[in-house]
A and B are shown apart, each in its own frame.
Chain A
Amino acid sequence: MTEALLLPPEAAGPGASFAMRTEGLSAYFGETRAVHDVTLDFPANEVTAIIGPSGCGKSTFLRCLNRMHETLPLTRVEGRVLFHGQDIYADGVDPISLRRHVGMVFQRPTPFPTMSIRDNVAAGLRVQPGPKPSRARVDEIVERALREAALWDEVKDRLNSSATGISGGQQQRVCIARALATSPHVLLLDEPTASLDPISTQKVEELVYELRKTMTVIIVTHNMQQAARVSDRTAFMLSGDMVEVAPTGVMFTAPSDPRTEAYITGRFG
């Protein structure tokens, strides 16, 4: 097992301007194919949104990007996924080390209930390779991550209280801070505002928009307006196929594929 993914973006091979790229990616649940042969680029330092109706495979696709799909039983992946030029599904690649460079935020807030807010945010630091950071360094990182998640001011006085004692929107931002604390190169967001109130949703969207400066963001959402607000490029998936991908402005005003147009204009969804 090689710790194969510590290359900084600049030093990667061909395709270095893409943070991630899938080539012919298919994902299976048992015999059922949920993602069909998808080839897609994710340019560095851009926000790419993936939209589509329920069950079209967008979450499954996303979970292939950090090898979370395979944590479920009876699953299979075909094709290649390049992370800074290296295929993450190649033999000898350790999925755990991949996940330390690719962060993920889930649909529902999942703070660790037995840990304080501070420990939650620092949770990812515990499994990073290398020497353990000092307590002061950890506190610095926690503050930085909470500021990036636009939550610092709200919780700075109760970092040691339980992470379950705050509102759902705040919990989700703790989860985002937790993902940001390890300075991932790519951040995967799976419908991050689906269970949040409108104000929290707005805060998260503003956050996503700002994050492009330091990392690449891929966000799955069933909310087209959200995709239009935060993303640079949008991809539309339908029944496991990647139908169309285009700059966001173009996608929502002049889509090329009739199926895209039908979805966007609300004829189905």
Chain B
Amino acid sequence: MNMKKTVIDFLLIENKQLNNDNFQLILQSPIPLSNILPGQFTNVEIKEAKEIFLRRPFSILDVDYKKQTISLLIKILGRGSKKITEAKTGQVISAIVPLGKSFSQPEKDDKILLIGGGSGVAPMLFLAKICGLNPSQVHVLIGAKSSVDHIDIANYQQFGQFYYTTEDGSLGEKGYVTNHSLFNQKIEQFDRIYTCGPDLMMKAVAKVAKEKNIFCEVSLENMMACGFGVCLCCVEDTKAGHKCVCTDGPVFNINDLKW
């Protein structure tokens, strides 16, 4: 049974700076959480911030049902994300969960490639953790500008094989994720590709997936006001017309997009 969309006053129990501009926030819910899936997101209220009116959407990094917590990976991109990373433990943070559709479940024999960039790493790690596949079937490729921009994935290491790229070559292979040898030489071995990150990165991944006819899902992050399908602001122009990224997505199969 899917959890109803709910406005919850969470308690911020941990706010950890991971590196330059990435933070991990752990929010504890006063009510039980259930069935929150990778690719789904939460829309977080930014309180007491000058000129910030709307909530900010963040993808979910992890859920602990026993402790009733959700974990968010937040990269500072603007005023809203900056403000939320300044929150102190013990503070109450209103967030709406769970929103949007998740990545689809792989088949049990699938070999999957997860490609994350920026804060798009969050749903990829979550998916690696709960996709139910043997770690040998799960390959995770993470791109960043430099080694200092990569976050520590120690808690997820056991769920798959990890590969890195950096634009300056300071960690893993030099270049973008699409320059990585796994991607440009061995892509055919994968049954499914899942990706989340900057638009340009996802478009480059989708182009190759399409050429090679590999199942590929991407997670979009169009600007939105509500997050639950009433404002109709976050639309993506798909083959079936304007679709709300917040409710018809954020996860889309690339065959449905005009990419």
Q: Do A and B bind each other?
A: no
The chain B residues found within 8 Å of chain A, CB to CB, are none
The chain A residues found within 8 Å of chain B, CB to CB, are none
